[in-house]
């Protein structure tokens, strides 16, 4: 069994938890993934099975697409709802300046990057003051999809707001406005940092919708928790039979990536042929 599973990761579950659940469901076969999603985030996780784990760098290097909803006018110590929230009242201009191309950013302190051999988030949770190293990432697309108009004193839309906008995206009285963004970026980009750098904002929701040619609409839920009635629970919920999950064969997955994707990941162009021969 060698190939790629498209998993729609739910909130509250780590990428490691998903991989471990798949490994158990498939009887202990070697598994890995191609790009971490924090427990807060949802969406597409590529789980690599068998010999597909040896092609991890091919899939890791693919561009990724995200949809995020941000709260504006406040900051979070973690860049999301799980941190300490501080209201600043500073709301980005509308439309905001959304950087694309090569962008310098500092990852959040609550991230999985290793500092001194230890995950940054573990050190941050102990109260350590961390200075995260800057990195250069690539942002292909950064677009504001909609933004709520701030509510007036009585909860009504502000004067001058277009009627359609006021009906569809008006902030609740007493709450800071929200905005939604679509982002396509290269490997290693932190969406939470992109939102925080707008000055000011933090992520309310974060969902990965695609990785290269793979779309979350084709993904399945991870295996159910390991319990005595786990198989029965999956069947009653209409979930996939994990004895035969919808695995994309390694050669087919590499064919979808194509030469451009393999080149972006720094892999030789004949990787697909070698994988096919091994099968």
Domains within the chain, CATH numbers bracketed: 3-62+214-278 (3.30.70), 64-211 (3.30.2350.10)
Distance CA(115)–CA(91), nearest Å, equals: 32
DSSP 53: G
146-189 pLDDT per residue, tens: 999 876 554 454 444 444 443 455 555 568 999 999 999 998 89
Residue 260 has pLDDT above 60, yes or no: no
8, 38, 80, 200: the catalytic one is: 38
Mean predicted confidence (pLDDT) in 184-210: 94
* pLDDT of the residue at 226: 65
Residue 15 has pLDDT above 50, yes or no: yes
pTM above threshold 0.95: no
* pLDDT of the residue at 21: 94
133-148 pLDDT per residue, tens: 888 999 999 999 999 9
- Identify whether 2 is a catalytic site residue: no
Task: Kindly state the tokens that stand for 118.
Answer: 């230890």
26-49 pLDDT per residue, tens: 989 999 999 989 888 999 999 999
Distance CA(2)–CA(54), nearest Å, equals: 10
Distance CA(239)–CA(101), nearest Å, equals: 40
* pLDDT of the residue at 261: 47
Q: Provide, rounded to the nearest whole percent, the portion of the chain with pLDDT above 90.
A: 56
Compute the Cα dihedral for 215, 186, 250, 28 and give only its sign.
negative
CA contacts within 13 A on the Cβ side of 115? 18
* pLDDT of the residue at 107: 79
Determine contact, residues 20/236, Cβ cutoff 8 Å.
no
Which strand (E) or helix (H) includes residue 75?
A: strand 74-76
DSSP 94: S
Q: Compute how many other C-beta atoms are within 10 angstroms of the C-beta atom of residue 279.
A: 11
């Amino acid at each position: 069994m060698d190939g790629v599973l498209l998993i729609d990761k739910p909130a509250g579950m780590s990428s490691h938890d998903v991989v471990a659940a798949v490994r158990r469901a498939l009887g202990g076969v070697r598994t890995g993934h191609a790009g971490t999603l924090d427990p807060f985030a949802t969406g597409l996780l590529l789980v690599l099975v068998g010999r597909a784990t040896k092609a991890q760098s091919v899939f890791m290097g693919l561009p990724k697409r995200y949809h995020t909803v941000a709260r504006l006018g406040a900051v979070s110590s973690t860049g999301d709802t799980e941190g300490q929230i501080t209201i600043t009242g500073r709301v980005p201009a509308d439309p905001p300046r959304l950087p694309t191309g090569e962008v310098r950013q500092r990852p959040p302190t609550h991230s999985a990057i290793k500092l001194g051999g230890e995950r940054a988030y573990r050190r941050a949770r102990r109260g350590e003051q961390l200075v995260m190293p800057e990195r250069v990432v690539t942002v292909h697309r950064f677009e504001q999809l909609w933004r709520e108009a701030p509510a007036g004193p009585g909860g009504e839309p502000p004067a001058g707001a277009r009627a359609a906008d006021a009906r569809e995206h008006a902030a609740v009285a007493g709450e800071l406005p929200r905005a939604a963004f679509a982002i396509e970026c290269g490997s290693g980009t932190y969406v939470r940092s992109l939102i925080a750098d707008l000055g000011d904002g933090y992520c309310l929701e974060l969902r990965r919708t695609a990785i290269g040619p793979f779309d979350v609409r084709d993904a399945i839920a991870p295996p159910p928790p390991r319990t005595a009635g786990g198989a029965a629970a999956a069947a009653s919920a209409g979930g996939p039979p994990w004895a035969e999950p919808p695995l994309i064969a390694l050669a087919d997955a590499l064919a979808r990536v194509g030469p451009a994707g393999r080149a972006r990941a720094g892999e030789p162009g004949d990787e697909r042929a070698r994988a096919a021969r091994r099968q």
